Structure formats: C-alpha cells, structure tokens
Amino acid sequence: MIGKIQAAQGCYDNGVFSFPVRIYYEDTDAGGIVYYANYLKFAERARSEFLCFLGIDQQKDLEENGSGFVVRSCHIEYLQSAVLNDDLTVTCRIADLGAVRAVIHQKIMRGDAVLAELEVKVVYMNVRTHRPTRIPQMMVDKLTSV
C-alpha cells in the first residue's frame, strides 16, 4: 500500500522559517535559468507554508471570517540565477507586524548564496468588503510566538 503523500514542511530556527524548493524544467526559460516571475511563486509557497507551520489555516479563515492576507507590495532584488536541478531554500522572517498589516523579509538561497531578496508587505483584508481589518489576536499570538 502506498502511504499518504505529505507536502514539504519546512522548518523554523532562530526567528527564520526555511522552506525547500527544487528547480524543475518547467521553472526555467529558454536560456535554461529560472524565469524571473517564478521567484515570486517560490516566495508565496514559503509564506503559505510558514502560516501552515504556525497552525494558521488560510482556507478556514477565508470560509469562517471572509478574511485573509493579500499582498500590498513586493520589492524583489535579483542577485544571481537559479538553474535546473538546483535545491533552494526560501526563508521568511516577520520584520514588522501591525494591527492590519505585516512586513515579511524573504531570501531565496542556494546553499549560502543569496539569489534573491524580497520585502513583501501584506494586509489582512475582508475579501467581501475589500477593506483592511484587524488581524485576529490568535493569529497575532502565533506570528509573534516564533
């Protein structure tokens, strides 16, 4: 019998969440390097896994509260290229947390080499009214406990 497949979990150490990403052929462009927009997808996956790691269920939050985090802005600095078969690590660190928003610093790395750095600003928003709303205290507690 084949066991249940588990999503990559990532790990948390010293204030930083780390999530593994492997580069597949589909991630690369005609030049054989990772297409620039894919770095944003890797960062999004790591942020989602970070919330999951903390016990924050984004789907449940949307269904029960009609709220969730949306990206307000993202600044990315590309420093080096990733290529096919690279094993990368995407990190997440909460840099600032307010009543309705958070700033997340992220790095995409191959070993010790930093390939890209991101500053992502997210807002906790009611998806029905499209208005910012307070981050629930339970979520604040989880985000600040690590």
Residues taking part in catalysis:
29
Using alpha carbons, list the distances in angstroms from residue 73 to 27, 69, 101, 102, 121.
23, 12, 11, 11, 5
> How crowded is residue 34: how many other Cβ atoms within 10 Å of its Cβ?
25
Residue 71 φ/ψ, nearest 5 degrees: -75, 125
Are the CB atoms for 83 and 32 separated by under 8 Å?
yes
CA distance 139 to 54: 9
Amino acid of residue 113:
A
Token digits of residue 58: 């984004």
